[in-house]
Amino acid sequence: MLCAKIPATSANLGPGFDCLGLALNLYNTITVEESSTWQIRLAGKYSTGLPVDESNLVWQTMLFLWKKANHPAPKVTLTLENQIPPARGLGSSSAAIVGGLVVANSLAGSPFSQLELLQMANELEGHPDNVTPALYGGVTLAVETAEGVLPRVLCENSNIHVLVTIPDFLLSTSKSRKVLSPKVDRRDAVFNIAHAGLVIEAFLRNDYKLLKEGMRDRLHQDQRAALVPGLSEALSSALENGAYGSALSGSGPTLLAFLSPEHTQAVSACMLQTFAKHGLNAEAFPLLISSRGAHIL
């Protein structure tokens, strides 16, 4: 038997569109057992509606790696325990892809390095901001170069707390990307470059007061506000109640707030109240940054 643990992730961190991300201590697990027949079993809070046939993303990813490695697909039973909510901006598809690659690589005798797995994950996901922290853990910067994705781990361990507030509706990445303008004003590009620099410095120096200004964005959050009722108001209320910084998590609808523990209750209450005012049920819970990416237990 083989078991892998894969963290949830949050991408962009405000201005770091498609390049900044972090791993969270909320996990999916994949268990593989030898079997006389192939099958997929589902477990965990967020399993409803996931396919149990060969179209399952974890299995498709495993087949993808085995094809590259010229390794035959074995008969196995996969048990997928899903604690990461899907289509909420917490990297559920990245967890499936990275988990499938790590498991398949291990079953094939580990022919590929971690860096090679990252290139495959980016190829399958289409952008590296979630798959990089899912694989490496911590707070990461993913730089796309002519040779592939260059991963940089900015911070492995941090004492900062992360409050995630999850509205009770689904928002696919593809739908969230369709509202973005294909062209960017130069002033907005400069704004985001500068503010992404502040976010990076905040984690390199553990100077989290920089996040209040650093997590401001002009490339995607305002455009996506129409998809998440109360978005701007909720982010502002988090700052007013003590959060270091707040942002849309990935493509949403989950919101992310960095804070110290003593502000958790106030920030949670104000964000939930804001969503309720806009007719949305939501849940909020505190997490930590996971220092480890996907790994075999």
Is the domain of 11 the same as that of 143?
yes
pLDDT for 87: 82
Distance CA 28, CA 26 (A): 7
59 within 8 A of 73, measured Cβ to Cβ: no
Is the domain of 144 the same as that of 7?
yes
pLDDT for 12: 95
pLDDT for 257: 97
Is the domain of 223 the same as that of 97?
no
pLDDT for 223: 85
pLDDT for 89: 87
Is the domain of 124 the same as that of 8?
yes
Is the domain of 115 the same as that of 151?
yes
pLDDT for 255: 95
**pTM of structure:** 0.94
Is the domain of 120 the same as that of 194?
no
Q: Is the bond into 253 cis (omega within 30 degrees of 0)?
A: yes
Is the domain of 146 the same as that of 265?
no
Is the domain of 6 the same as that of 145?
yes
Nearest partner of 97 among 132, 146, 140, judged by Cα: 132
What is the number of structural domains in the chain? 2
Is the domain of 148 the same as that of 199?
no
Is the domain of 188 the same as that of 237?
yes
Name the one residue in this structure whose structure tokens are 């992404």: 196
pLDDT for 112: 98
pLDDT for 48: 86
Is the domain of 142 the same as that of 188?
no
For the chain, 297 residues long, the average pLDDT of each consecutive 10-residue run is 95 95 97 92 90 94 97 94 91 96 97 98 95 98 96 92 90 76 91 97 96 95 85 94 95 92 95 93 94 95
Is the domain of 122 the same as that of 177?
no
Domain with residue 137: its CATH number is 3.30.230.10
Q: Residue 126: which domain range?
A: 2-156+291-296
Bridge partner residues of 163 (DSSP) = 257, 286
Domain with residue 200: its CATH number is 3.30.70.890
